[in-house]
Amino acid sequence: MYDVTEIRRDFPILSREVNGKPLVYLDNGASAQKPQVVIDAMTRAYSEEYANVHRGLHYLSNLATEKYESTRGVIAKFLGVKDENQIVMNTGTTMGINLVAYGWAMPRFEAGDEIILSVMEHHANIVPWHFLRERQGVVIKWVDVDSTGHLDPQAVIDAMGPKTKLVAVTHLSNVLGTVVDVKPICKAARERGIATLIDGSQSAVHMPVTVDDIGCDFYAITGHKLYGPSGSGAIYIAQERLAEMQPFIGGGDMIREVHKDEITWNDPPMKFEAGTPGIVQQIGLGVALDYMMGLGMDNVAAHETKLRDYARTKLDGLNWLQVQGTTPDKAALFSFTLDGAAHAHDISTILDKKGVAVRAGQHCTGPLMDHLGLTATCRASFGLYNTEEEVDKLVDALELAHDLFA
Ligand code: PLP
């Protein structure tokens, strides 16, 4: 049974107060809180098991290497990937997508080649492609979402042409909560010889993901949203792409031999993991993913679906509040604006006084904000430990904000 009261006890920060009120943490879309097991594992790693990895032959180095490397297998299991050597560990999605841009796309794409993006991408899945546009004349093709925030897979497929080299789309929008049906997009792309990159930063947190079933070429995740440490993460890379990809960052670990006039690379995934990695961060990530799998991702998804439905009904009852993104199958993530002149920052400040933490701003989604005709929204994003009672507290705080600005 999914016992949210029990689960909340696993997260020490949830019992603290903010501004004299019990914390209602609804900023999980930005970063999630950490369970005690992750904090303990990181403390243990530093206090009992720490040394650099892949280098020493001494006891602690071997132990740290074993712990660090075991996370690769955990990530593969979590993402439904059979071969853990297709998991490149890194600091998060931004690094993963930049690796693809620099290591795979830049050496291969020419002027006029096309990259398809949806209008609701995060800047992490936009800016690296602008580098290719500015530096190499690559064309970015944008696919819009409809008025509910739904992204029609067929619209993405229709945008594919003979010059398209890559489709890079989010699996779950960090602003609209839209879940994108990525599998048909990946299938159609594969049939046309086009690569696919899926930004799984938000999706992997809220639902079971089986990358081998999705059939994409790249799938990026970020540890700090997955109840793991900041500075941890990974990207799945299909075998063919791994073989095609050039190293992006050079340094120790990613080489086999270095001489004055010659260099040979390590095998993937090490070829793409230069320098001392985030050893303890990745150890913490492995524990976080084990924790989530222990709860069961189906159970997490079911809990959050109930929360979404409850929150949707409550927020729909506020006729002075506009939710952005109304597709039926969205995640428990609500971006909204309020009638009147109240700025999202002012609203979030009032909510904060009530202990309710939400995010306000443009959420690193400039093109989506342009599309919506907005400069900022407030966003309440729920996680596996949130409750219906917290939805009620959000609504109470919103009513206060509305009264103040009415
Ligand atoms: N993609 C999406 C959809 C996100 O929500 C975020 C973080 O907010 C990112 C990418 C960036 O991830 P990271 O924090 O690992 O750089």
What are 51's strand-pairing partners? none
Amino acid at 152: D
What is the atom index within ligand 1 of the atom nearest the CA of 173?
3
Q: Does 342 score more than 80 pLDDT?
A: no
Q: What is the pLDDT of residue 341?
A: 62
Q: What is the pLDDT of residue 343?
A: 87
Q: Read off the pTM.
A: 0.98
The answer to whether 238 touches 86, Cβ cutoff 8 Å, is yes
List, in order, residues 6 or more apart from 395 with CB less than 8 Å away: 314, 315, 318
Ligand 1, atom 16, residue with closest C-alpha: 94
Residue ranges of domains in the chain, CATH in brackets: 4-30+296-405 (3.90.1150.10), 39-294 (3.40.640.10)
48 CA from centroid of ligand 1 (Å)? 32
Where are the alpha helices (H) located in 49-192, listed in sequence order? Answer: 59-79, 93-99, 127-136, 153-159, 182-191
Q: 231 CB less than 6 Å from ligand 1?
A: no
Our mutation pick for probing the ligand 1 site, out of 122, 209, 230, 365, counting the most ligand atoms within 8 A of Cβ, is: 122
**What does the alpha-carbon distance between residue 250 and residue 254 come to, in Å, rounded to a whole number?**
7
φ and ψ of 4, to 5 deg: -65, -30
Structure tokens at 47: 């206090």
Q: Does 178 score more than 80 pLDDT?
A: yes
What is the C-alpha R_g of the chain?
Answer: 22
190 CA from centroid of ligand 1 (Å)? 25
Q: What is the pLDDT of residue 278?
A: 97
The answer to whether 376 touches 343, Cβ cutoff 8 Å, is yes
Give a three-class secondary structure readout of 285-310.
HHHHHHHHHHHCHHHHHHHHHHHHHH
Q: What is the dihedral of CA 281, 37, 205, 183, to 10 degrees?
A: 80
264 CA from centroid of ligand 1 (Å)? 33
Q: 365 CB less than 6 Å from ligand 1?
A: no
List, in order, residues 6 or more apart from 326 with CB less than 8 Å away: 148, 149
Q: What is the pLDDT of residue 69?
A: 98
Q: 124 CB less than 6 Å from ligand 1?
A: yes
The answer to whether 224 touches 230, Cβ cutoff 8 Å, is yes
**What does the alpha-carbon distance between residue 44 and residue 103 come to, in Å, rounded to a whole number?**
35
Report, as an integer, the average pLDDT of 229-256.
Answer: 96
**What does the alpha-carbon distance between residue 127 and residue 123 come to, in Å, rounded to a whole number?**
6
Q: 170 CB less than 6 Å from ligand 1?
A: yes
**What does the alpha-carbon distance between residue 111 and residue 394 come to, in Å, rounded to a whole number?**
49
Query: How many C-beta atoms surround the C-beta of residue 266 within 10 A?
Result: 18
Our mutation pick for probing the ligand 1 site, out of 222, 230, 232, counting the most ligand atoms within 8 A of Cβ, is: 222
DSSP H/E element including 18:
strand 17-18
What is the atom index within ligand 1 of the atom nearest the CA of 363?
8
List, in order, residues 6 or more apart from 81 with CB less than 8 Å away: 75, 87, 211, 212, 236
Question: Where does the pLDDT of residue 115 fall: very low under 50, low under 70, confident under 90, or very high at 90 and above?
Answer: very high
Map tokens 């059939």 to a residue.
215
Q: 304 CB less than 6 Å from ligand 1?
A: no
* Nearest in space to 247 (alpha carbons), one of 129, 125, 100, 75: 100
**What does the alpha-carbon distance between residue 305 and residue 368 come to, in Å, rounded to a whole number?**
24
**What does the alpha-carbon distance between residue 121 and residue 178 come to, in Å, rounded to a whole number?**
11
147 CA from centroid of ligand 1 (Å)? 24
Helices (H) and strands (E) in the chain, counts: 15, 17
Structure tokens at 243: 């073989």
* Nearest in space to 327 (alpha carbons), one of 118, 150, 119, 175: 150
The answer to whether 170 touches 324, Cβ cutoff 8 Å, is no
* Nearest in space to 123 (alpha carbons), one of 214, 231, 199: 199
Ligand 1, atom 5, residue with closest C-alpha: 174
What Å distances lie between residue 106 and 70, 77, 245, 285, 301, CA to CA? 31, 30, 10, 30, 37
93 CA from centroid of ligand 1 (Å)? 6
Report, as an integer, the average pLDDT of 246-268.
Answer: 96
Report, as an integer, the average pLDDT of 352-372.
Answer: 97
Q: Does 369 score more than 70 pLDDT?
A: yes
Q: What is the pLDDT of residues 31-90, one digit of tens each?
A: 999 999 999 999 999 999 999 999 778 999 999 999 999 999 999 999 999 999 999 999
399 CA from centroid of ligand 1 (Å)? 30
The answer to whether 135 touches 285, Cβ cutoff 8 Å, is no
Q: What is the pLDDT of residues 161-176, one digit of tens each?
A: 999 999 999 999 999 9
The catalytic residue positions are 364
What is the atom index within ligand 1 of the atom nearest the CA of 172?
3
Our mutation pick for probing the ligand 1 site, out of 198, 364, 379, counting the most ligand atoms within 8 A of Cβ, is: 364
Q: Please calculate the CA angle 296-301-302 and round it to the nearest 5 degrees.
A: 100
